[in-house]
A and B are shown apart, each in its own frame.
Chain A
Amino acid sequence: GDSVTQMEGPVTLSEEAFLTINCTYTATGYPSLFWYVQYPGEGLQLLLKATKADDKGSNKGFEATYRKETTSFHLEKGSVQVSDSAVYFCAPPLSGNQFYFGTGTSLTVIP
């Protein structure tokens, strides 16, 4: 069935460092892909999405490109801030009714 594999954390970076969180997926067809973020003490919220191959989703300085050839959707940010400290989830393709968020990647940014 459809699934995602996400880089495990935790990840600790200094402020202004470059961030990459890897995510690869297996899916039948070409589903939409999502990154969700959960800030401390809060619920999940959508960070960005891409709805077709080669699409780039972006929000709050984060980017992810839907790479069909490598089946990847890696999350990147050029310069992280302390306020980016959160848990990031590469959300599963929703085709085939498979719903699995995994453990996410915890990011801590230190000043």
Chain B
Amino acid sequence: DTGVSQDPRHKITKRGQNVTFRCDPISEHNRLYWYRQTLGQGPEFLTYFQNEAQLEKSRLLSDRFSAERPKGSFSTLEIQRTEQGDSAMYLCASSLVGSFDEQFFGPGTRLTVL
């Protein structure tokens, strides 16, 4: 396995458009996390799944954001009606419950909202 992958790596969109990102975790990992990172800041937690169940979602997360992990493998993060403030790097990480919760991060998807 080559690690966590994310697609696309870069996305430029116009304000008001919807965007969807995909994350493929390490195959045997049952936990999957989404974070957002802006310049000069650390990763900000958005949500996480254990298998297909979404167990926690940040209270700061707008209703325009939604995430799914329908079969407990890959996950998608959708942002509806994008705003310029959504411009950031969106990071995905995965971990194996019981393996000390070490998270493995993907390379991220950089979103630019014009």
**A→B interface (CB under 8 Å):** 31-32, 34, 36, 42-46, 49, 51, 87, 89, 91, 94, 97, 99-104
- Measured CB to CB, the closest approach of chain A to B46, in angstroms, equals 9
Known contacts being A43-B91, A43-B108, A97-B56, is A103 close to B102, with CB within 8 Å?
A: no
Q: Which of A32, A101, A102 contacts B102 (CB 8 A)?
A: A32
Show 29 A/B contacts (Cβ-Cβ < 8 Å), sorted by A: A31-B101, A32-B100, A32-B101, A34-B102, A36-B105, A42-B107, A43-B105, A43-B106, A43-B108, A44-B91, A45-B105, A46-B103, A89-B43, A91-B103, A94-B101, A97-B56, A99-B33, A99-B35, A99-B45, A100-B42, A100-B45, A101-B35, A101-B42, A101-B43, A101-B44, A102-B42, A103-B41, A103-B42, A104-B42
Size range of the chain B interface in the assembly = 20 to 34
- Measured CB to CB, the closest approach of chain A to B110, in angstroms, equals 11
Counting from the closest, the 9 A-B pairs by CB-CB distance are: A101-B42, A99-B45, A94-B101, A32-B100, A44-B105, A101-B43, A43-B107, A104-B42, A43-B105
Residue of B nearest to A104 (CB): B42
- Measured CB to CB, the closest approach of chain B to A16, in angstroms, equals 27
B85 touches A (CB below 8 Å): no
Q: Which of A45, A46, A89, A94 contacts B42 (CB 8 A)?
A: A89
A-B contact sample (12 more), CB < 8 A, given A51-B100, A103-B42: A32-B101, A34-B103, A43-B106, A43-B108, A44-B91, A94-B101, A99-B33, A99-B35, A101-B42, A101-B43, A103-B41, A104-B42
Residue of B nearest to A101 (CB): B42
Q: A-B pairs with CB below 8 Å: how many?
A: 47
B40 touches A103 (CB 8 A): yes
B48 touches A (CB below 8 Å): yes
Q: A102 to B103, alpha carbons, bound, how many Å?
A: 16
Chain B neighbourhood of A46, CB < 8 A:
102-104
- Measured CB to CB, the closest approach of chain B to A45, in angstroms, equals 7
Chain B neighbourhood of A44, CB < 8 A:
43, 91, 93, 105
- Measured CB to CB, the closest approach of chain A to B15, in angstroms, equals 26
